[in-house]
């Protein structure tokens, strides 16, 4: 009897390959290909007066130099605005190569293709560009002041202004017995995957076909963008996703300029061409996220129940808006978290600055939203002198209220914001137990007696996961018994080869070891959207389950015929179909695959058994009506709306009274992502997410100076936490409220770990210090300065 595979912590099948250096990333492909290097703007805002490429033309080993003047047709147009929105009234995108103006330090101005990257970089250094510097806009402040404009034709630097809400907030605030105002700030950070961007292209002149490899989170997105910009039919372009060294959102944004110029060069030169981004380039030319300033006005009753809330925020969108308003829309809607607000109004402005573009990074606007809401909850608790957990509990949506609609708000997918399932009160009980909420007071008093400062913080989130529109699955059983499965979205290390195989094993009855998963290859599955928004398990997992069920139906039909029994009497275990209660009457999946495909020729032993002369009913056609040759199943999953995962993080920190260093004593996570396919993979996602959250809370920020120069464009100065900076142990507890929206009851788990982390740390540090924390991340130096300011404020109060 086969044991159930879903729910088991099966070891990841991809790890043997990935941890022994056998992964194949884009830079490993096509050794000897020509390589591209990019000349990037050293200035944040400037007009380009002239570009002199003459000094490059005679450099030995240089094959091509392109500037904007070399681009033609669609390639000479601005890059696509991928997700238009009616409120994005002033959307702007960059050109593949700067067309007379640069708007951030790092914007691509010219490219060189050479024998290798060394020569290409030598050549890039010889290009002479004359710039006329323009005034630079940096930060939300600079953008709002609008003394200078990023784009001449965008007044006030405002790309978009969007307003949503429900209930009468003004009235609610007026009538509320208690009112508070908060001003908050979150700094810019970035996804910073271990592998940067990378593209390899090969043009086959005989077949008129472009093969393209990209380090991407969306195979179909890159393919469509390249085909459209280069004037190729979609069918002429194959996009194959190799192993990808992390994405975290930054690789959902396509096309990048290099991704269009590499295939252009490959087609022009008739030779394979490669671009591998280096780390400095990643900092100054890939996307960032997070930077927001926020203003909250909240009215609440004496039990801390919110009566009305007005949320205003300003979103630093960088120089262009290729990915539309997704990030601020998510902030504005996911702000509501697990709470039931009778009246809510949100308005945001997306602002242009002369900095790198802002597109989704793991969490995608939610860490900012959760920071804002959870700071509000803590402020309410402090104002009323109430337990912080109780204030939250008093505002929770109750289990019997699902599905729960937040007024008529629309989510990022344009659909109404309706939560499908959840149990937030139980989640809170689990969180309190896990972190030791009840025993904490005694612990703090004990520490205080020893001269130590400790603090506890708690933060709740709800995450809309598994957004549409769809994903597909294709399952093919081969004559050797192997089950080949394809889905179009891509893998960046999540463990899809394992988790999806577990689904196929259960749904089809195949041996787990016989299942082979391929992701992100348009030759195998040309219809797909991509890996983002914690959607892979929900979307492709569901599609693969449905495809497996279709394959199973055919297996049973064929087996019933072959074994001369009713389909209802059959079961499939370990890739063998047998009669229930008579296991000796059986047939293997591979044999059924042979039978499914009658042949004229015998190529090998397996096909010998399948020639039309050896098997089949002579009174029927070899392929019965309504059937197809082969043992396959294909299906798509397209949900009505997103499914909403939830969770609570709690952290206990200790701050050094002298050095203001912040250390983590305990980190606890309870979460609900519905059905767990592989608990070990889910926990791995949580570990990685928390590590990234620790980075966002205590370490990472993009340091732009007033000239728009990024001061810390290296891993020496952009502080991603090492393993020594993240908690050695993360306590995890699962809650399972399956989603009613998909066949397996799955909710997404990919981003959750990073979402409430900054909020939880802010609360814990505030608790330890007794100083209000309004801005994250926070460094020891900043905490020390807060202490100095606080003590001088206390001095002033005492003197007054």
Site residues (CB under 8 A) for another protein? 117-118, 121-122, 125, 278-280, 658-661, 699, 703, 711-712, 716-717, 719, 721-722, 724-725, 779-781, 784-785, 788
Residue 480 or 711 having the CB closest to another protein: 711
Angle between helices 366-384 and 326-334 (to 10 degrees): 30
Whole-number minimum distance, CB 778 to another protein, in Å? Answer: 12
Q: How far apart are CA 147 and CA 699, in angstroms?
A: 31
- The CA distances from residue 78 to 37, 172, 319, 441, 719, in Å, are 21, 46, 13, 58, 34
Task: Pick between residue 117 and residue 482 the one whose CB is nearest to another protein.
Answer: 117
Considering the complex, state which of residue 398 and residue 714 has its C-beta at the smaller distance from another protein: 714
> In the bound complex, what is the minimum distance in angstroms from residue 125's beta carbon to another protein?
7
Specify which residues 111 forms β-bridges with. Answer: 38, 66
Nearer to another protein, 312 or 779 (CB): 779
Nearer to another protein, 206 or 658 (CB): 658
In the complex, minimum distance from the CB of residue 754 to another protein, in angstroms, rounded to a whole number: 18
Nearer to another protein, 612 or 792 (CB): 792
Give CA–CA dist 254/84, Å, rounded. 14
β-pairing, 128-133 vs 178-186, is unpaired
Cα–Cα distances (Å) from 371 to 306, 376, 599, in that order, read 17, 8, 63
CB 356, min distance to another protein, A: 17
Rounded to a whole number of angstroms, the minimum distance from the CB of residue 369 to another protein is: 27
CA distances from 205 to 74, 239, 259, 271, 523 (A): 22, 17, 20, 10, 19
- What does DSSP assign to residue 746? B
At 225 the three-state DSSP class reads helix
For residue 588, how many other CB atoms are within 10 A of its CB? 16
Question: Greatest CA span in the chain, whole angstroms?
Answer: 106
CB nearer to another protein: pick between 183 and 785: 785
Yes or no: say if 487 and 472 are a contact pair by the CB < 8 Å rule.
yes
Cα Rg of the chain, angstroms: 28
The least distance separating another protein from the CB of residue 492, rounded to whole angstroms, comes to: 22
Backbone angles phi, psi at 616, to 5 degrees: 100, 160
Strand partners, 521: 240
Q: State the nearest-atom distance from the C-beta of 68 to another protein, in Å.
A: 25
Q: Which is nearer to another protein, 89 or 714 (CB)?
A: 714
Nearer to another protein, 21 or 618 (CB): 21
Which CB, 126 or 345, lies closer to another protein?
126
Least distance from another protein to the Cβ atom of residue 704, Å = 10
Q: How far apart are CA 496 and CA 320, in angstroms?
A: 33
- Which CB, 37 or 505, lies closer to another protein? 37
The DSSP output letter for 625 is T
Tell me the helices (H) and strands (E) count for the chain, helix number first. 20, 29
* Phi, psi values for residue 141, rounded to 5°: -55, -50
- Scanning 436-541, the segments in alpha helix (DSSP H) are 440-449, 496-508
Please give the angle made by the CA atoms of 762, 766 and 768, to the nearest 5 degrees: 120
- Length of the chain in terms of residues written: 800
Question: Least CB distance from residue 118 to another protein, whole Å?
Answer: 4
Nearest distance in Å: CB 278, another protein: 4
- CA gap 459, 370 in Å, rounded: 8
Whose tokens are 């893998």? That residue is: 491
In contact, 741 and 640? CB cutoff 8 Å:
yes
For the chain, first and last CA: distance in Å? 80
- Report CA-CA distances (Å) from 492 to 11, 25, 326, 401, 430: 17, 10, 21, 37, 31
* Complex with another protein: residue 387 or 661, whichever CB lies closer: 661
The tokens for 499 are 């988790």
CB of 784 to another protein, least distance (A): 5
Adjacent-strand bridge partners of 227: none
Residue closer to another protein by CB (options 451, 626) is: 451
Q: Nearest distance from residue 712's CB to another protein, in Å? A: 6
Find the shortest distance in angstroms from Cβ 148 to another protein.
24
CB of 605 to another protein, least distance (A): 52
Name the strand (E) or helix (H) holding 362: none
Q: How far is the CB of 466 from another protein (least distance, A)?
A: 35
Handedness of CA 551, 552, 554, 559 (dihedral sign): positive
- CB of 413 within 8 A of CB of 641? yes
Q: In whole angstroms, how close is the CB of 711 to another protein at the nearest point?
A: 6
Least distance (Å) between residue 724 CB and another protein:
4
- Beta carbon nearer to another protein, 429 or 725: 725
What CA–CA distance (Å, rounded) separates 227 from 243? Answer: 22
The pair of three-digit structure tokens given for residue 47, joined into one six-digit string: 């007009």
Tell me the pairing of strands 576-579 and 570-573.
antiparallel
Q: CB under 8 Å to 54, separation ≥6 — which residues?
A: none
**Quick one: 262 or 662, whose CB is closer to another protein?**
662
Nearer to another protein, 402 or 784 (CB): 784
Which residues are paired to 776 by β-bridges?
186
Residue 678 near residue 10 (C-beta atoms within 8 A): yes
Cβ atoms within 10 A of the Cβ of 739, count? 27
Kindly state the smallest distance separating residue 60's Cβ from another protein, in Å.
Answer: 11
Contact between residue 109 and residue 67 where contact means Cβ atoms under 8 Å apart: yes
User: Which is nearer to another protein, 425 or 780 (by Cβ)?
Assistant: 780
Comparison of 410 and 707: residue with beta carbon closer to another protein: 707
Which residues make Cβ contacts (< 8 Å) with residue 80, sequence separation at least 6?
Answer: 93, 225, 228, 255, 322
């Amino acid at each position: 009897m086969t044991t159930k595979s879903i729910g088991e912590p099966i070891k990841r099948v991809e790890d043997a390959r990935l941890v022994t250096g056998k992964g194949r990333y884009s830079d490993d492909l096509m050794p000897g290909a020509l390589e591209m290097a990019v000349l990037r703007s050293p200035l944040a805002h400037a007009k380009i007066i002239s570009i002199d490429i003459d000094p490059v033309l005679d450099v030995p080993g240089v094959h091509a130099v392109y500037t904007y003047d070399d681009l033609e047709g669609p390639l000479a147009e601005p890059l696509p605005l991928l997700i238009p929105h009616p409120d994005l009234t002033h959307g702007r995108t960059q050109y593949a190569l700067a067309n007379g103006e640069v708007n951030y330090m790092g914007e691509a101005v010219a490219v060189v293709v050479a024998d290798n990257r060394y020569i290409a970089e030598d050549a890039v250094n010889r290009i002479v560009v004359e710039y006329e510097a323009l005034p630079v806009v940096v930060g939300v402040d600079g953008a709002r002041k609008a003394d200078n404009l990023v784009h001449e034709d965008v007044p006030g630097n405002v790309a978009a202004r969007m307003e949503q809400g429900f209930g009468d907030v003004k009235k609610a605030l007026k009538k509320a017995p208690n009112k508070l105002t908060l001003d908050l700030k979150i700094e810019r950070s970035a996804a910073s995957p271990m592998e940067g961007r990378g593209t390899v292209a090969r043009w086959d002149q005989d077949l008129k076909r472009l093969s393209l490899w990209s380090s991407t989170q969306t195979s179909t997105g890159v393919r469509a963008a390249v085909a459209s910009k280069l004037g190729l039919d979609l069918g002429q372009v194959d996009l194959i996703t190799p192993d990808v060294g992390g994405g975290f959102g930054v690789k959902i944004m396509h096309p990048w300029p290099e991704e269009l110029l590499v295939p252009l060069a490959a087609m022009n030169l008739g030779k394979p061409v490669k671009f591998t981004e280096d780390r400095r380039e990643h900092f100054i030319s890939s996307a960032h996220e997070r930077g927001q300033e926020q203003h909250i006005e909240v009215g609440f009753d004496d039990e801390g129940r919110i009566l009305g809330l007005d949320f205003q925020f300003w979103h630093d969108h960088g120089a262009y808006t290729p990915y539309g308003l997704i990030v601020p829309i998510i902030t504005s809607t996911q702000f509501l978290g697990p709470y039931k607000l009778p009246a809510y109004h949100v308005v945001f402005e997306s602002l242009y600055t002369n900095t790198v573009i802002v597109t989704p990074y793991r969490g995608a606007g939610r860490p900012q939203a959760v920071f804002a809401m959870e700071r509000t909850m803590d402020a309410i608790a402090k104002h009323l002198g109430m337990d912080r957990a109780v204030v939250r509990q008093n505002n929770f949506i109750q289990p019997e209220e699902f599905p729960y609609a937040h007024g008529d708000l629309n989510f990022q997918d344009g659909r109404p914001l309706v939560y499908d399932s959840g149990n937030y009160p139980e989640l809170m009980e689990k969180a309190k137990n896990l972190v030791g909420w009840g025993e904490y007071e005694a612990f703090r008093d004990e520490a205080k007696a020893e001269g130590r400062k400790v603090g506890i913080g708690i933060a709740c989130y709800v995450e809309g996961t598994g957004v549409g529109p769809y994903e597909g699955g294709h399952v093919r059983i081969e004559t050797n018994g192997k089950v080949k499965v394809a889905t179009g979205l891509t893998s960046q290390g999540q463990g899809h080869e394992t988790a999806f195989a577990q689904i196929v094993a259960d749904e089809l009855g195949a041996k787990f070891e016989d299942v082979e998963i391929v992701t992100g290859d348009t030759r195998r599955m040309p219809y797909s959207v991509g890996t983002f928004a914690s959607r892979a398990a929900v979307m492709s997992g569901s599609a693969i389950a449905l495809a497996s069920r279709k394959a199973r139906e055919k297996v049973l039909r064929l087996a019933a015929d072959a074994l001369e029994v009713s389909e209802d009497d059959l079961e499939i275990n370990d890739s063998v179909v047998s009669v229930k209660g008579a296991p000796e009457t059986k047939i293997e999946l591979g044999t059924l695959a042979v039978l499914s495909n009658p042949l004229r020729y015998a190529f090998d032993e397996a096909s010998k058994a399948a020639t039309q002369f050896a098997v089949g009913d002579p009174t029927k056609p070899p392929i019965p009506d309504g059937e197809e040759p082969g043992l396959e199943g294909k299906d798509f999953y397209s949900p009505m709306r997103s499914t909403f995962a939830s969770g609570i993080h709690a952290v206990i920190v200790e701050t050094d009274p002298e050095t203001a260093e912040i250390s983590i004593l305990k980190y606890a996570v309870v979460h609900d992502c519905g059905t767990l396919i592989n608990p070990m993979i889910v926990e791995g996602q949580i570990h990685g997410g928390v590590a990234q959250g620790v980075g966002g809370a205590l370490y990472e920020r993009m340091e732009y100076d007033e000239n728009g120069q990024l001061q810390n464009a290296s891993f020496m100065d952009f502080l991603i936490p090492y393993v020594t900076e993240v908690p050695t142990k993360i306590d995890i507890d699962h809650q399972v409220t399956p989603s009613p929206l998909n066949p397996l009851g799955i909710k997404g788990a990919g981003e959750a770990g990073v979402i409430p982390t900054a909020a939880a740390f802010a609360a814990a540090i505030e608790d330890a210090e007794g100083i209000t924390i309004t801005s994250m991340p926070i460094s020891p130096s900043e905490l020390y300065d807060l202490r100095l300011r606080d003590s001088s404020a206390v001095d002033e109060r005492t003197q007054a």
